Structure 1
Amino acid sequence: MEIGLIGLGAMGRAMAANLVAAGHDVKCWNRSGGEVAGVTMVATPADAFQADAVLTMLADDAAISTALLDAGVLAAARPGVVHIVSSTISVAFSQALQEHHQKAGVAYVAAPVLGRPDVAAKGELNILAAGAPAAMERVRPVLEAIGKKIWPLGEQPAGAHAAKVACNMMIAMAIEAMAEAASLTDANGVPRDDFFELILGTLFAGRSYRVYSKIISEGTYQPGFKAQLGLKDLRLAREAAAPLAAPLPMLDAVHAQMSKAVEAGGAERDWAIMADYTLRSAAK
């Protein structure tokens, strides 16, 4: 397939490389330029939309709006193109995007992903996919090239973005849970690595606990996913929760704690820096 890709951050670069490795003809647009072996760089987002499918991996609602909607890119897209949005965006914006795509006659598939850049590089992302069945089937080769499993989540793209926001909310809660638990055990002389080995071997063996307990133990917090982006996703979760009949108190608490960690200088570090903020605060 001829595939356009917009956004060459750490995740986008890994996706581009895997698409090339799978034999696809890939052309990319990136605001700040750059290059990936085997990829043709194009001058504008509109050029990327002259393809069979286009995958966007941009930071947020505003970045997609600026790159695509403000410039009228959808209206100039190749007939029959399918647009795959892998960014983590708000539920409301995903709903608005569906309307924009319908007006332009462009198929829209939501495919946000679970996985950090190292997982993306291996082509082992979990893909949360939603959209019209025919469009989903057409872009299956694209999704299979970048991920290890596609999780179908219905025909409404906003549903997949809601699921991604909910997953990130739960990861943040897991990070904070480990930090608060370690605060208790640290204060009572239990070596932190021993405690984490205990929880991983008994109650909490999932990937998020394994990945983030290791980061917390090492204490380096090199960014795989920056705290400022984590805070953005928690804000998106709060926005999605606003219409609900009752508040989500754990979400409010973890959003407040991530905000404090970012304000304390952690914006560019891995979002597990929230754990460091909690542990330091508890030890004072």
Structure 2
Amino acid sequence: MKIGFVGLGSMGSAMAPHLVAAGKPLSVHNRTKAKADKLVADGAVFAETPGDAARGEVVITMLSDDAAVEETVFGKDGILEALPKGSTHISMSTISVALSERLAAAHAEAGQEFVSAPVFGRPDAAAAGKLFIVAAGPAEVLDLCQSIFETLGQRTFFFGEEPAKANLVKLSGNFLIASTIESLAEAFALVGKAGIDPHAYLELLTETLFSAPVYKTYGGLIADERYTPPGFTAKLGHKDVGLALDAAEDLQVPMGMASLISERFLTLMAAGAGDLDWSALGKLAKRDAGDDKPLSDG
């Protein structure tokens, strides 16, 4: 199976090496060609355009937002015009429900297959092949993609034949993570102002009430005040919560907490801290409690 991979950012550059290591013929494309050098040295082929990466049986996109996916798929030398009939586009990006629906319709009209398969996990999980994959699309196409999912992640969860359902599940999950980060941020600000050791507090939380990885990961980042380098930026957190709110409006589902968290991320962005890890909500809560360190200081 000849595979193309488009998007070698922090996630894509951690995912694509697994496909090379598994012996799958791989073409890679990224706007910054240098990011592909290690993959090419290990046996991948560099594709000059997204379309050049999409001439095999499968092309995977792992891009930052709707605009990047739209340009890559619908733009000049894009995936839509190059992907052979019957071949599959697997979108692993976190994108809007509306764009996922548009992609499904466009690929169907072109005689191509489309699968949404966004992931849960930070770059370190991607590098370890430990991502959780949320997939939706035609059953027979998902079966063909299973070996790819097994190469990239530790488990795949299936949500039916409509690709956009996977995107909605992913957005709901990112909303829950952001809600957890905001709750942790406020709790750490509260006990921290009373002089309680944040690491002792984290140990209590994660050894008793909240043992899930999300509490350990983001509680640890907040306790350490370690917001750089980002695994996922506040700017991207704002984008994803906004996409969840867009979907909620279409479905007429009020999400008051999501609206609040969107404003919290926007506050970080307005202060020049949008490129910090999204756990920098902890820094914002501490600032609100009287800390005078600049928010943009990672």
TM-score band (shorter)? Answer: over 0.9
Residue deviations 1:16-41 (CA, integer Å, cap 9, x gap): 10001111011011112122232110
CA-CA distance at 1:220 after TM superposition: 2.1
**What secondary structure is seen at the aligned counterpart in 1 of 2:60?**
strand
TM-score in terms of structure 1 length:
0.96
State percent identity of aligned pairs: 39
Match among 147, 163, 169 for residue 169 of structure 2: 163
Residue deviations 1:112-165 (CA, integer Å, cap 9, x gap): 000111110011100000000011011111111110101111111101001111
RMSD (Å) for aligned C-alpha atoms = 1.3
Aligned partners of 1:173 and 1:209: how far apart in 2?
Answer: 11
Residue identity matched to 2:52: D
Matched, 1:151 2:177: no
Counterpart in the other structure of 2:285: 278
1:74-93 aligned at under 5 Å gives the runs 74-93=80-99
Counterpart in the other structure of 1:56: 61
CA-CA distance at 1:172 after TM superposition: 0.6
Matched, 1:46 2:64: no
Counterpart in the other structure of 1:14: 14
Structure 2: gaps of 5 or more residues? 292-298
Residue identity matched to 1:178: L
Aligned partners of 2:261 and 2:79: how far apart in 1?
Answer: 37
Counterpart in the other structure of 2:135: 129
Matched, 1:220 2:226: yes
CA-CA distance at 1:246 after TM superposition: 4.6
Contact 2:51 2:81 in 1 (8 A): no
Contact 1:16 1:39 in 2 (8 A): no
Residue identity matched to 1:42: A
Match among 233, 239, 243 for residue 240 of structure 2: 233
Aligned partners of 1:159 and 1:243: how far apart in 2?
Answer: 14
Aligned partners of 1:157 and 1:244: how far apart in 2?
Answer: 17
**What secondary structure is seen at the aligned counterpart in 2 of 1:10?**
coil
Contact 1:183 1:283 in 2 (8 A): no
Matched, 1:261 2:274: no
Residue identity matched to 1:70: G
Structure 1: gaps of 5 or more residues? none
Residue deviations 1:188-238 (CA, integer Å, cap 9, x gap): 332211211111111111111110111111112011111111111111111
Residue identity matched to 2:65: D
Counterpart in the other structure of 1:32: 32
Residue deviations 1:33-64 (CA, integer Å, cap 9, x gap): 12223211011111111111111001111111
Counterpart in the other structure of 2:295: none
Contact 2:52 2:82 in 1 (8 A): no
Aligned partners of 1:73 and 1:129: how far apart in 2?
Answer: 20
CA-CA distance at 1:74 after TM superposition: 1.5
Residue identity matched to 2:182: E
Residue deviations 1:223-263 (CA, integer Å, cap 9, x gap): 11111111111111111111344521111111111110121
Residue identity matched to 1:138: L
Match among 113, 138, 142 for residue 119 of structure 2: 113
Counterpart in the other structure of 2:104: 98
Residue deviations 1:91-115 (CA, integer Å, cap 9, x gap): 1111111111111111001000001
**What secondary structure is seen at the aligned counterpart in 1 of 2:27?**
strand
